[in-house]
Amino acid sequence: MKKFSTAVFFFLMSSALGANLSTKNKTVPVTSSTPSSVPAVLASPATTTLKLSPRARIETQAPVASPTFITQSFSSLRSQLLFLNAIDVILAPSISTIQAGQVLGGVHQSVFAVGTLHQQTSFDVVRSWQKIIDPTNGQLLGIVGKRIGKVELVLAADSNNALHEFIVTQAWSELSTGDLLLPAARDERSNPVFDKQATQGQAASGRITTLMREGIWAGTLDVVAINLGTQQGMHAGATLSVLKQAKMNHTSALTISSQSVMQTIATLFVFDVNELAAFAVVMQASDVISVGDSVVSIRTPSK
């Protein structure tokens, strides 16, 4: 009987101890008055550990630019830059004086210019920016003009040598003496981004002639000019590769002529073109672009 009681005693003690340990190790759900930002389906109902699915852990990508945004971007570039020739620069009226003898002018200020108006009353203010010179032969291909504002005629002088008065209606940069007045462009040129003929055309090769920025290098989203125009079969909407001489190590240079090894470093998109030159934006670049770099058109097979 004594032995039986002792066995029962140890059995009851072990059961109680097991129940106590089970209570200590039991996970108690945690409640909070603050709503969780994690979806309920991702949280375990009986534990404080929250598991996120792979979809919830990845970072949301930025939305891809819509065709409308791309079209507006190229339209903006085409409205700011234009090709000038020497005749435009010589014959166009130019700002001689700014209101109250100021050096720079802005919106709602008066500016005075001399030159022939040809019965025009609305003018674009254009700054003669850079010359486009062919690096292969030194030929002047054109002059880069940059639209910086608009003016309206207030009072026309009796002669072309006298001062005509204008009021500045728009200004994207401060106007100064020497800026040209060209008849305001009234026609909106179609944007070439989705031109069906932009993917077809004859192969052409040329050179980078001008960088539309300060400095000696250009990169992604910079604008450049090339020595290919309509006379060479270039058209708005064309894409080109920029080629640069490959950098080779000493061992390779012993067996391969560096002049024959060229690598693609950038892609250009042509958004405006004249007879002898074209403007293009750098869509992507893995190396810096400089004047004189070679360009080759990328031909897309017609379907």
C-alpha–C-alpha distance, residues 75 and 154, integer Å: 30
β-pair type (164-171, 239-245): unpaired
Please give the residue that has the higher pLDDT: either 69 or 156: 156
C-alpha–C-alpha distance, residues 183 and 145, integer Å: 14
Output the pLDDT for position 245: 81
Q: Note the helical H segments in the chain.
A: 2-25, 54-57, 67-80, 86-91, 250-255
Please give the residue that has the higher pLDDT: either 156 or 302: 156
Which of the residue ranges 129-133, 193-197, 235-239 would you say has the lowest mean pLDDT? 193-197
Structure tokens at 155: 């009072």
Global pTM value: 0.67
Tens digits of residue pLDDT in 98-150: 998 888 999 999 999 999 998 999 999 999 989 999 999 999 999 999 999 99
Domain with CATH 2.40.10 in the chain: 196-297
Q: How confident is the model at residue 80 (pLDDT cuts 50, 70, 90)?
A: confident
CATH of domain 196-297: 2.40.10
Contacts of 115 (CB under 8 A, 6+ apart): 91, 92, 93, 94, 160, 164, 181
β-pair type (205-211, 294-297): antiparallel
Name the DSSP class of 72.
H
Output the pLDDT for position 4: 47
Q: How confident is the model at residue 62 (pLDDT cuts 50, 70, 90)?
A: very low
C-alpha–C-alpha distance, residues 39 and 237, integer Å: 47
C-alpha–C-alpha distance, residues 142 and 230, integer Å: 14
Rg of the chain taking only CA atoms, in angstroms = 35
